[in-house]
Amino acid sequence: MGRDLYAQIPAAREVFDEADAVLDVNIARLCFEGPEDDLTATENTQPALLAVSVAILRGLNSLLPEGHKIVPQVVAGHSLGEYSALVAAKALDLATALRLVRRRGELMAEASEGTMAAVIGLNEQILEQVCHEVLEQRGEPVVIANYNAPGQLVISGAIEAVGHACKLAKERGAKRAMPLKVRGAFHSPLMTRASEGMAKVLAAATIADMCVPLIANVTAAPLLHAEDVRRELVSQVVSPVQWIASVQRMVSQGISTFVEIGPGSVLTGLIKRISSGVQVVNLRNIDDVHAFVAAGIC
At residue 96, φ and ψ (nearest 5 deg) are: -65, -45
**Residues pairing with 140 in the sheet:** none
Which residues, including other chains, have CB under 8 Å from residue 102's CB and lie 6 or more apart?
Answer: 23, 25, 43, 46, 47
Label residue 8 exposed, middle or buried (CB < 10 Å: 0-12, 13-18, 19+): middle
Catalytic residue among 62, 79, 235, 265: 79
Q: What secondary structure letter does DSSP report for 75? A: B
d(CA 237, CA 200): 13
Find, among 151, 163, 162, 154, the residue nearest to 122 by Cα.
151
- In angstroms, the CA 149 to CA 132 distance is 21
The 3-state DSSP class for residue 286 equals helix
Q: Write the single-letter amino acid at 246.
A: S
The catalytically annotated residue of 78, 84, 156, 187 is: 187
Is 187 assigned a catalytic role? yes
- Cα-to-chain-centroid distance, residue 97: 13
Residues marked active site are found at 79, 187
